[in-house]
Structure 1
Amino acid sequence: MSTHDSAQAPPHSRRERPAKPALTRQGIIDTALAIMRDEGLHKVTMRRIAIALDTGPASLYVYVRNTEDLHAQILDALLGSITVPAPDAGTWRERLKAVLNSYRDVLFHHPAIARMALSTQPSGPNYMALVEAVLALLAEGGVTGRAAAWGVDLLLLYPTAAAVEHSGERSAAQEAADLSALGAQIAAADPARYPHIAGLGDELISGDGAGRSDWAFHVLVDGILAAISRTPPA
């Protein structure tokens, strides 16, 4: 290459790199979801997300208030997969159970999120859509007003608690061993000291998860319907 050609070549800095995409709330949430899936929820911190986005942690607080807010947004993003049956897909009670089972399945597939859901109040659009769907189905069944407003809390709390109970990431063999150990402890209970436990020993550990969940759903719905007249006025 001639000296003249070299002199005319445009300058090039070895420090140049593509411009970083602009930070957005959705981009932060998407990055948090990716980290959670790859490394677990415990790794979803402001510092870890900042590293992934090649920025400083302080810049994230413009879009997310704190870690609790971030976790709430992660939960809300996952709730986007909940399905609401069409009006002709069954009775209002059957469709309500399907919605709650869909919510439960989301939490069962994300154990860490299930534990977080007990202490973090979601408030995003997907959570609002879930609450709206439950309230609409309760209204279809004749439950309105404060009874519906209080009832929706109970209906969402049960699948959340059930998911947390099974969020220990134990194997099927471990769960069977734990159940066997519990059965042995109940069978050895002193009837004089624990007469009711001894009398209901087999029943205390009877049924499977699906059967118990179905029973609990109907108990809650029947209880809400029966308690309409007992719900205190606003």
Structure 2
Amino acid sequence: MARPRRSLLTRQRIVDAAAALADAEGLEAVSVRRLATELGVAGPSLYNHFATKSEIIDAVADAVVAQVDVSFFGSRDWREALRLWAHSYHAVLSEHPNIVPALAHGPGRRPAALAMADAVYGGLIDAGWPPARATHIGALMRYLVTGSALGSFALGFPVDEVLYANYPHLRQAHLLAGHRSSVDEGAFDFGLDLLIAGLDKHYAELRKGVPA
């Protein structure tokens, strides 16, 4: 009787398994040994595709970033492009919050992350932003988006009314968790609105030749 054929181990299978582990249990759960167990293979076989665990994490992070829509740059006004991109980026990271720490140090050598940075920077330059300011805007947007995905502000306040008895301005804080969506998403939208409004004003001043 022929032996059952084992499914072929590929980079994509490894990345998918690592992403599932990171989503479910956090980055600390991702190890070569754990992945080998999940995939039903010998640990050393993973090294045929990735030299280190760090390379696997990088690949997972890049697979997440690849889901972000950057097609708005070059086809929409820079303000609308920034807004739509930020919402897409925020939505993707909100689905994969455990991977955010791996994105904290910038794109590194990750192709999708570099392509996203190129699209955003290029779109801003094409819109007339000076290179230095385009760089600042890209950084600002990343701070806003990744920061918003790191954790819930609303869930940081325990549902315990007694806890806030000595904090007169926090008497309603125990209700925040019950309004997580309106608090967290509202804060993100509000911050994004203010950021783009401020950039719009600055852009108008630049176009008039007013010193920044």
Note whether the superposition's TM-score is higher than 0.5. yes
Match of 1:100 in 2: 86
CA–CA separation in structure 2 for the residues paired with 1:176 and 1:92: 41
Q: Matches of 2:22 and 2:87 in 1, distance apart?
A: 23
Please tell me whether the aligned partners of residues 64 and 92 of structure 2 are also in contact (alpha carbons under 8 angstroms).
yes
- Cα distance in 1 for partners of 2:53, 2:154 equals 24
CA distance in 1, matches of 2:202, 2:51: 38
| Corresponding residue for residue 216 of structure 1 | 195
Cα distance in 2, alignment partners of residues 92 and 149 from structure 1: 14
**1:82–1:102 Cα contact (<8 Å) kept:** yes
2:180 is aligned to: none
Match of 2:118 in 1: 132
**For each residue in 1:124-170, what CA deviation from the matched residue of structure 2 results, as whole angstroms up to 9, or x when unmatched?**
3321221122112211321243443454233222211121142x893
Greater CA radius of gyration, 1 or 2? 1
What's the RMSD between the two structures over aligned residues? 4.0
1:91 to 69, 77, 101: 77
SS in 2 for 1:108: helix
Listed as ranges, the gaps of 5+ residues in structure 1 are 1-11, 188-204
Give how far 1:80 is off.
2.3
Aligned to 2:44: 58
- TM-score scaled by length of structure 2: 0.69
Q: Indicate the residue corresponding to 1:111 in structure 2.
A: 97
* TM-score, length basis structure 1: 0.63
Corresponding residue for residue 8 of structure 1 = none
Q: 2 CA distance for matches of 1:229 and 1:123?
A: 38
Which residue number in structure 1 is paired with residue 155 of structure 2?
170
Distance 1:216 1:30 in 2: 35
d(CA) in 1 for partners of 2:148, 2:205 = 24
Question: Any stretches of 5+ residues in structure 2 without a counterpart?
Answer: 171-182
Q: How does 1:128-207 map to 2 (within 5 A)?
A: 128-166=114-152, 170=155, 174=157, 181=164, 184=167
The percentage of counterpart residues that share the same residue type is 23
Residue 150 to residue 68, structure 1, CA distance change in 2 (3 Å): farther
Q: Counterpart of 1:124 in structure 2: which amino acid?
A: R
Within 2, Cα distance between the matches of 1:107 and 1:134? 17
Q: CA deviation at 1:29?
A: 0.8
Amino acid at match of 2:81: R
> Cα distance, 1:225 vs. partner?
8.3
Report the Cα distance in structure 1 between the residues aligned to 2:48 and 2:203, rounded to whole angstroms: 42
Q: Quick one: distance in 2 between partners of 1:79 and 1:33?
A: 12
Aligned length: 194
Q: What residue is the counterpart of 1:4 in the other structure?
A: none
